[in-house]
Amino acid sequence: MTKGVDDAKNGQYSDVLVNRVKILEDADFLYIKNLCENNDGWACVYDKKTTKVWTRNVPTSDFCMIKAHCHMPDVSASVVYDVLHDPLYRSKWDHYMLNAEDVGLINPNNDICYYAVGGMPPFRSRDFVMQRSWLDTGHEKFICSHSVCHEKYPPVKGYVRGVVFFTAYLIREADVGCHLMYATHSDPKGKLPAWLINRLTRVIGPRMLKKLHKACLKYPAWKASNQPTWKPWIYPEQQANSVRINLSDCQPRNYEQELIDESSVDAKDVNDDEVL
């Protein structure tokens, strides 16, 4: 994912293999940790109560990196980790999700998934095929993802196929509750209005963190009645019946897509309250 810690300090991640399957190594998780913790070169665009959001320009991209920190004083790191993993619970709190499918397992800590996300009307919906990687060290827990290709999941009509260069969650136990750190850089493709990043970082992002927090508070009671012992992200033996990924199905591909121009959409015509 990276050449080392210095790259994280400089906001670089030149070795991320977008559209290539990569098993993350110790250096990759160290990169993620430094990216989340080091604020040099980042601009704080939101700071309210227990939540902060930063952005950082990427010279080679039209879209900036975004990261956020949130303290959840009444939720443990293990609960946040479970909520972010549990596909049965996702629809209870992620109202952007239109569809999610497990494509298959690479190894006990890596899989490939398909995720379709609804755009705020009138924006078109986007979809992604991603490799997910996770690691639980006890005190710290990581969930990471980046875009890959799979021959059974080409772009489909009605969606714009986006690219996730990287997305990472770092969840850390605190003296009281836990700290959630999140960093991402993606390209939703198409032409989008300049005001959208402001809306994402200052309004939608903080709301999603608030919604995630509420979901975490409700999760233990929900899980107690919904397959309480099923947690394959923790218990690898529960993955025995999972489809195994054939890496030959994951060769990089260049997909041709129609350029969707949504740059003329006016902010006043978008009601993100309907989704959130």
What local confidence, expressed as pLDDT, does residue 267 receive?
Answer: 87
Which CATH number describes the domain made up of 44-274? 3.30.530.20
Compute the mean pLDDT over every residue in the chain, rounded to the nearest whole number. 91
Alpha carbon 269 to chain centroid distance?
A: 27
Q: Chunked in runs of 10, what are the mean pLDDT values of the chain (276 residues)?
A: 47 62 93 95 96 94 94 98 97 92 97 93 93 97 97 94 95 98 94 88 91 98 98 97 96 88 89 52
Give Cα 186 distance to the centre of its chain: 9
pLDDT of residue 197: 84
Domain residues of the chain, as ranges?
44-274
Q: Whole-angstrom Cα distance, residue 267 to residue 276?
A: 16
First to last CA, the chain: 32
